[in-house]
Structure 1
Amino acid sequence: MHSLPIFVDLRGRPVVLLGEGDAAEAKRRLIERAGGRPVGEAEGEDHGARLAFVACADEAEAAATAARLKARGLIVNVADRPALCDFTLPAIVDRDPVLLAIGTGGRSAGLAKALRQRIEALLPAGLGALAEALAAARARMRARWPDADSRRRAIDAALAEGGPLDPLGDGAAEAVDRWLAADHVEAADRIVPIRLRSADPDDLTLGEARLLGQADRLYHRPDVPQAILARARADAARHACAVPPAASGPGLSIDLGFA
């Protein structure tokens, strides 16, 4: 990854905004949409602002302004000048409280926009309601599955394609109570071999990519490249070994190596 995607809570917080014109107004709207309070440089210093947006048409002025703000410890975005940015702004798909951010590291805002438009058409308007329903059911889910790994596997199965809470299906938010009340049989512990055809992660089949995203742990040959391992869940345990153990552990394990 070229940068770490994060979501920053700006509600009620000052955010320095310097510049004028359409670019500055676009940044102002975005800050206010996120609940932040656009302020000038002096007010931002007085109130402990930590983020700054610079939208200056003149390149030398933009560079000098960014350098000055960075010297004060602010994290700075400079419109249309990714080389001067500490952070870049993604294209946003908003299904509040669900937010999807698509970034290209400042390489192409047009590409990020095109991807956002494609994804917008896929995600139902009720996706945010599903997130709220799951949040409201958190205590009941903990009571139903006290073990964190069992709880995660149950939620993963419910949210999978065709599952009772499929995020792209109809009425998922209304189905949360029925799902919690239903009988559940946890899938048996298993280890699934995946034999790679190349070092290119794009050569993974859809089924293989889905298994990697669901796995609790990976037993992988030392020569499996990081680009492949990165397709697994970030919190999945990783074990470099020539041969996986006979007892792989609870849940889903992947035996990953080249064919």
Structure 2
Amino acid sequence: MQSLPLFFRLTGRKVVVLGEGEAADAKRRLVERAGGECVGEPEAHHAVLGFVAMEDEKQAEAAAIRLRCKGLLVNVTDRPALCDFTVPSIVDRDPVLIAVGTGGASAGLAKILRLRLERILPQRLGALASALGESRAGMKARWPGSAERRRALDAALDEGGALDIFAQRGDDAVERWLAGDGDSAPQGIHEISLRSRDPDDLTLREARLLGSADVVAHDADVPEAILIRARADAIRMPAEDTLRGLEGAGLVVVLRMPA
């Protein structure tokens, strides 16, 4: 991973957009869509980001340097080497946003991936996210522990769960889920014997277990490409360490490399 994906709040904030033509207009529309205010270079000292969309490379580089010297992070259209950040292709299911980026390598590939995701993801995804946000107090009351709450939500949102995002659910789905018996999330210690060093060789079940694990115990030679399939906040530990005492730690996944 060569970039850290972030969602930057722009509502009510100023953003410098320099340039004319279609590319500059597209950046202005994007900033305004995110709630930002487009301004010129004279107001750069009040701005938080800068976009440069100029055909002339020397002019674009000079503009980027000027904005950067004023403390702004800068994006220069079609010139990844001059960028502090790149702009992803966006799937918008407000408040759900899915950003697809290639680090500036291929905007065309990012666009096609976005279009594929647009066809797959239901329009009601945003409504589900909003309902979950409004139900935080109810979830905390039912599952006081954060790990317990996360496991219950993982089970509900998973395939076949009460809140499966691809299933047709009513507007009261979250309310009915909270009032019901809830979904049983996997717990305990689960051992996965890896068949290769390729993460694509994980089965769907193995990938789900790894992605939901609270603790990942692994052999020393398990590749990072597989380990990063786990949650970033999951505890990692060597598999040779004793696993006793972890029975109540939620979901523990043990990764073993083939002999």
Query: TM (normalized to structure 1)?
Result: 0.95
Counterpart of 2:226 in structure 1: which amino acid?
I
Determine whether 1:63 maps to 2:57: no
Measured against aligned partners, the alpha-carbon deviations of 1:116-161 in whole angstroms (never above 9, x if no partner) come to 1111011111111101111111101111111111111111111111
Letter paired with 2:254: D
After TM superposition, give the deviation of residue 187 of structure 1 in Å.
4.7
Q: In structure 2, how many angstroms separate the alpha carbons of the residues matched to 1:95 and 1:74?
A: 29
Contact 1:197 1:203 in 2 (8 A): yes
1:53-99 deviation digits (Å, cap 9, x = unpaired): 00010001111111111122110000000110000000100000000
**Equivalences for residues 96-111 of structure 1 within 5 A:** 96-111=94-109
Alignment-derived partner of residue 8 in structure 1: 8
CA distance in 2, matches of 1:238, 1:41: 47
In 1, distance between residues paired with 2:87 and 2:186?
A: 43
Determine if the alignment matches structure 1 residue 28 to structure 2 residue 28.
yes
Aligned partners of 1:38, 1:85: CA distance in 2, in Å?
19
User: Are residues 172 and 151 of structure 1, via their aligned partners in 2, closer, same or farther at CA, if it must alter by over 3 Å?
Assistant: farther
Alignment pair present for 1:74 and 2:84: no
Q: Distance in 1 between matches of 2:92 and 2:140?
A: 28
Q: Does 1:38 align with 2:38?
A: yes
Residues 84 and 146 (structure 1 numbering): CA distance in 2 closer, same or farther, change over 3 Å? same
CA contact (8 A) 1:130 1:172 kept: no
Instruction: Pick the aligned partner of 1:160 from 148, 151, 158.
Output: 158
| RMSD (Å), alpha carbons | 1.4
Q: Determine which of 172, 175, 178 is the counterpart of 2:173.
A: 175
Report the 3-state secondary structure (helix = DSSP H, G, I; strand = E; otherwise coil) of the residue aligned with 1:143: helix
Asked if 2 retains the 8 angstrom alpha-carbon contact of 1:93 and 1:119, the reply is yes
Which whole-Å CA distance do the structure 1 matches of 2:83 and 2:242 have between them? 44
Partner Cα distance (1:124, 1:147) in 2: 30
Q: 1:202 deviation in Å?
A: 1.9
Structure 2 residues not aligned, in runs of 5+:
none
Is this contact kept in 1: 2:155–2:183, CA < 8 A? no
Question: d(CA) in 2 for partners of 1:74 and 1:86?
Answer: 9
Worse overlay, 119-128 or 199-208? 199-208
Q: How many Å separate the matches in 2 of 1:163 and 1:186?
A: 9
2:119 maps to 121
Q: 2:209: which partner in 1?
A: 211
Deviates more, 1:176-185 or 1:100-109: 176-185
Correspondence for 1:134 among 132, 135, 138: 132
Distance 2:224 2:183 in 1: 34
| 1:257 aligned partner | 256
**Structure 1 runs not aligned, ≥5 long:** none
The 8 Å contact of residues 44 and 70 in structure 2, kept in 1 or not, is answered as no
Q: How many Å separate the matches in 2 of 1:243 and 1:7?
A: 38
Listed one character per residue, the Cα deviations across residues 28-64 of structure 1 (whole Å, up to 9, x for unaligned) are: 110011010000011232xx21200000100011111
Deviation at 1:172, TM superposition (A): 5.7
Equivalent residue for 2:194? Answer: 196
Equivalent residue, structure 2, for 1:233: 231
2:192 and 2:239 mapped to 1: Cα distance? Answer: 14
In the alignment of these two chains, the number of paired residues is 257
The one-letter code of the counterpart of 1:254 is V
Q: Distance in 1 between matches of 2:254 and 2:239?
A: 10
- Equivalent residues in 2 for 1:240-251, closer than 5 Å: 240-242=238-240, 244-249=242-247, 250-251=249-250
Could you tell me how far apart the structure 2 residues matched to 1:172 and 1:151 are? 22
Instruction: State the 1:251 CA deviation.
Output: 1.6
